């Protein structure tokens, strides 16, 4: 049975691991609202590894931005495609142009026929999908390997408009790199008997869904390490083992791009 999407008027749905139940009638929350909710505990899930391994390191302050910052490659490149990286704070999303994704390369695209872009994130299944994630779920996620989940959003506007205030990098990739990135996304999905991605329920904001991942989340395989691994597969010069937190990932990516004039 297809999940109820959190789009348009009506009550949003609250997802649990085994299914979804309708919440009381309320206006649909914006991406920023859901990101703030997610960030209340994400510092434990995505940042505990860095805190344990480099607790004496002075954190690098993220750049202040009153509005979205779009970034394009610094050096002219023969790359025919690009991937946007959206900085949500303690969590990062990958944004691909829907027109760059062949339907056969990523089956989840078929669930978002009207999208201009597709944002994908990854994380611990129980924590990411919880209506009110707490410290216990966060500690459980990093204490031992737990099931992962993909969060895919159909974005129907320019990235800067859909994610106002977010730092957004645009990284150039070659055609072969894009294919490797799509292979990475496709192989992360858990498939049903018909070979379709397993849908777990509606996502956190907009036109979005959760999908079961065959990968496991743990202390050294955080959401940001997963994104870095996907970018590395695309040929981006990034070291996943040094990206336990968002800032450590963005520090590696910013030199690869420049502010749009």
pLDDT (tens digit, 9 = 90+) per residue, 154-187?
A: 999 999 999 999 999 999 999 999 999 999 999 9
From 41, 13, 37, select the one nearest 26 (Cα to Cα).
13
Angle between helices 31-53 and 223-233 (to 10 degrees): 90
Task: Quick: pLDDT tens for 86-139.
Answer: 999 888 999 999 999 998 999 999 999 999 999 999 998 988 898 777 666 666
Which residue spans within the chain are E strands per DSSP?
Answer: 13-16, 19-22, 69-73, 81-87, 92-97, 117-124, 146-155, 167-173, 199-202, 207-217, 257-259
From 114, 121, 127, 74, select the one nearest 94 (Cα to Cα).
121
Task: Quote the pLDDT of residue 111.
Answer: 97
- Compute and round to an integer the Cα radius of gyration of the chain: 17
Task: Quote the pLDDT of residue 66.
Answer: 34
Task: Quote the pLDDT of residue 222.
Answer: 86
Considering 2-11, 20-29, 188-197, the range whose residues carry the highest mean pLDDT is 188-197
Instruction: Give me 81's structure tokens.
Output: 């495609």
Can you list the pairs that 239-245 forms with residues at least 24 positions away whose Cβ atoms lie under 8 Å?
244/46, 244/47, 244/49, 244/50, 244/53, 244/220, 245/46, 245/47, 245/49, 245/50, 245/90
Distance CA 217, CA 259 (A): 33
Helix residue ranges per DSSP H, the chain: 31-53, 125-129, 135-143, 159-162, 175-188, 223-233, 246-253
User: 61-65, 101-105, 241-245, 251-255: lowest mean pLDDT where?
Assistant: 61-65
- With contact defined as beta carbons under 8 Å apart, do 151 and 112 qualify? no
Instruction: Give me 257's structure tokens.
Output: 């791009």
Mean pLDDT score across all residues of the chain: 75
From 123, 139, 140, select the one nearest 203 (Cα to Cα).
123
This prediction's pTM: 0.70
Element (H, E) at 174: none
């Amino acid at each position: 049975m297809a999940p109820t999407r959190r789009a348009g008027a009506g009550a949003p749905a609250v997802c649990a691991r085994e299914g979804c139940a309708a919440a009381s009638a309320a206006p649909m929350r914006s991406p920023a609202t859901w990101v703030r909710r997610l960030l209340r505990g994400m510092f434990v899930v995505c940042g505990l590894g860095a805190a344990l391994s480099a607790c004496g390191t002075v954190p690098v302050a993220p750049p202040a931005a009153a509005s979205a910052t779009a970034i394009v490659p610094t050096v002219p490149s023969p790359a025919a495609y690009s991937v946007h990286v959206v900085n949500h704070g303690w969590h990062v999303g990958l944004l691909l142009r829907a027109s760059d994704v062949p339907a056969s390369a990523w089956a989840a695209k078929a669930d978002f026929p009207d999208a201009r872009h597709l944002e994908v994130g990854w994380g611990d299944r129980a924590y990411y999908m919880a209506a009110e994630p707490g410290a216990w779920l966060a500690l459980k996620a990093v204490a031992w390997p737990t099931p992962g989940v993909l969060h895919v959003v159909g974005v129907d506007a320019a990235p800067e408009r859909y994610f106002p205030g977010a730092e957004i990098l645009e990284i150039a990739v070659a055609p072969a790199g894009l294919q490797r990135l799509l292979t990475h996304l496709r192989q992360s999905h858990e498939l049903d008997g018909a070979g379709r991605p397993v849908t777990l329920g509606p996502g956190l904001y907009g036109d979005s869904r959760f999908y079961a991942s065959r990968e496991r989340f743990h202390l050294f395989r955080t959401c940001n390490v997963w994104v870095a691994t996907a970018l590395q597969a695309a040929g981006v010069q990034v070291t996943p083992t040094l990206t336990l937190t968002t800032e450590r990932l963005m520090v590696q990516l910013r030199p690869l791009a420049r502010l749009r004039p």
